[in-house]
Amino acid sequence: MKKSFLWQALILSGALLGVTACSSDDEDSSSDMSYIQFYNASPNSTSARLSMDEYEYTGVDFADSMARYSYSTGSVELAVIGNDELGDDQTIYEQSLDLGNDEEHLFMLIGDYHSPEFIDINYQREEMDELNSDEDEDYSKMQVLVAHTAMNSAGFDVYIGLYGREFIDATLISEVSYREHSDAVIFDTGDYILYLTEPDSMEPIYTTASMSLSTKTVYKLIIRESFGPGTPNITIDSVDSTSTPVTYANVDAHAEFRVFNALNEQGSIDVEMTNHLGAIQADDIEVGKVSEFKEIDFDDYGVQIQQSESGEVLANNLLVTFNQDESRSIFVYQDESGGVRGMTLTHDLRPRAFEYQMNFANLVHEFEDLTVYFVRASETIESAEYKIDNADFAELNALTIPSGEYEISVVQQDDNDDLTLLYQSELLSLEGGGNYSMALIKDTSMPLGYQLSLF
C-alpha cells in the first residue's frame, strides 16, 4: 500500500465564516464547504479547544475528539487553545489555513504539551461516497485511515482482517511511524480486527477485539500512547464522525492491581485473587496503607480477604474484573453492618502538564455528603475554588485541580447545617502534574479521629 507522509505542522487563529454540524456521513456535501474534525493526542495536555476565526469549539481532552463539522471555504485563522499552569487560557498553536471545497481535514494535537505539534490530515472520501450512492449496485463501503501519534513508540506495519478469519488472511494497510498516517483505504462495511506488527514482521504484537466498522464513513484509527501495564504501551482509538471515540486495547495485554486497607479494626490483611489458572496474593497490607501494583491476567477473579496475623477469613468470593491494560486499586472497607466489602477504582495514569487528578473515597460509613476542600494560601473553605461535594459513603469522586500548594480539609455538614472538621492536612505541594488517590478512614490515633490517606 502507498504510504502517505502529508503530515503538516499547522496552527491557526481568526474570524467566523460559517459553521454547521454534520449530523450524518450520508449527507450530500454542501456547496463551498470543507469538513473539519479535531482529536487531542497530546498525552499530558489540558483540555484543548479548536478555534476557527475566533469561533471556539468545545474543549477536547486527551484521547477524545470533537464531531465532524462543515465550515465555509476560504482563508481561515485557526488556533488551538489550552490552559497554562495557572489554569488560564493560552494559545498553543496558530496559523492561517486555506480551506477548499469538499476538503476533509482531521486536525490533531500531538506530542509533549510543553512543545506540541499540530497535524493536518487531508484525506479523500469522494470515491467511497460515489460507490455508496450507486443505486444499481448493492454497495456498503467504508474507509480506514491509520495515524501514529504515540511519540515513544517505534513504527508498525498495520494489517486489517475480517473478524473470524486468521491473521494470515489480513490485508496490509501501510507501515506507519510517529507523525505518519496511511491513505484512506476502502473496504466493505463489517466487523474487522486490526493487527500491528514490527516492520517487515509477520508476528502480531497488538491485536484488537472485533471492531464494528458498519457505517458508511471514514474511520480514523489513531495509535496513541497508553499508560497501563500492557505492552507495547499504546492503544487504538476509532474516530468516526461523532465526538466519542471507541477504544480498543490489545486483547493480550495484562492488567495490574493494588489494594488499600481501610479495615481500622482488623489490622493488617492478606488479599488473594483467584481464577481458573491459579491465585495471586498481596500480603501484610497495614491499615491506611496501599500495596504495590501487581501484574495480573485480564479475567474475572474471586477475592478472599483475611487477617494477616490470625488467618481469619473476613470476606470470600468477592468478584473483581480486570480488563486488558487496566490499572486498578481495590479499596477494602467495612460497611455499616460490619461486613467487609471491596470497591475498585480504575486509574487514569497519564502524565499531566499542570494538573492533578484527585480521586476521593469516603470509607467512613457514619458519614454521607462530605465536602473535600482544596484550600490555597489566599483562601478559606468558604472561598475555596476547588472542592468535591456530596461525597457519600463507599462512592468514588474525582476532581482535576491545577498544580500548587493546598491544605485539604474534609468537612461534614449535619441536618442543622452545623459543620464538623473531620480532617485537615498540612500544606501539600503539588508541583508539575499527576494523579493521587485519597481515602478517608477512621483512625483514633489522629487528633480528630480520622485519617486521609494519600497515595
Same domain, 192 and 313: no
Write out pLDDT tens, residues 185-244.
999 999 999 999 999 999 999 999 999 999 999 999 999 999 999 999 999 999 999 989
Same domain, 342 and 352: no
The dihedral built from the CA positions of residue 278, 284, 289 and 291, taken in this order, carries a sign that is: negative
Residue 13 pLDDT level (bands cut at 50, 70, 90): very low
**Single residue among 205, 227, 248 that ends a domain in this structure:** 248
* Residue 1 pLDDT greater than 80, yes or no: no
Write out pLDDT tens, residues 14-65.
333 334 444 345 444 446 899 999 999 999 999 999 999 989 999 999 999 9
Same domain, 56 and 179: yes
CA–CA distance, 177 with 124 (Å, rounded to integer): 21
**Single residue among 233, 248, 263 that ends a domain in this structure:** 248
Write out pLDDT tens, residues 411-431.
999 888 899 999 999 999 998
Same domain, 239 and 380: no
Nearest Cα neighbor of 346 from 330, 363, 364, 357 is 330
Supply the CATH number for residue 395's domain: 2.60.40
| Region of residue 205 (phi > 0: left; psi between -120 and 50: alpha; otherwise: beta) | alpha
Same domain, 318 and 177: no
What stretches of 178-217 adopt beta strand conformation (E)?
A: 181-182, 185-188, 190-197, 204-207, 211-213
Q: Which grid cell sits at 13?
A: 487563529
Same domain, 132 and 264: no
Instruction: Please give the average per-residue pLDDT across 85-102, as a whole number.
Output: 93
Same domain, 284 and 342: yes
What is the pLDDT at residue 273?
A: 97
What is the pLDDT at residue 136?
A: 65
Same domain, 337 and 365: no
Number of domains forming the structure of the chain: 3
Residue 138 pLDDT level (bands cut at 50, 70, 90): confident
Same domain, 293 and 355: no
More confident residue, 4 or 323: 323
297 to 255, 274, 276, 322: CA distances (angstroms):
6, 11, 11, 8
Same domain, 216 and 303: no
Bridge partners of 430?
A: 404
Q: Which domain holds residue 301?
A: 254-346
* Residue 7 pLDDT greater than 60, yes or no: no
Same domain, 337 and 259: yes
Supply the CATH number for residue 263's domain: 2.60.40.1120
Same domain, 206 and 319: no
Which of 17-31, 130-144, 253-267, 375-389 shows the lowest per-residue confidence on average (mean pLDDT)? 17-31
Bridge partners of 193?
A: 161
**Single residue among 323, 346, 369 that ends a domain in this structure:** 346
Residue 165 pLDDT level (bands cut at 50, 70, 90): very high
What is the pLDDT at residue 198?
A: 98
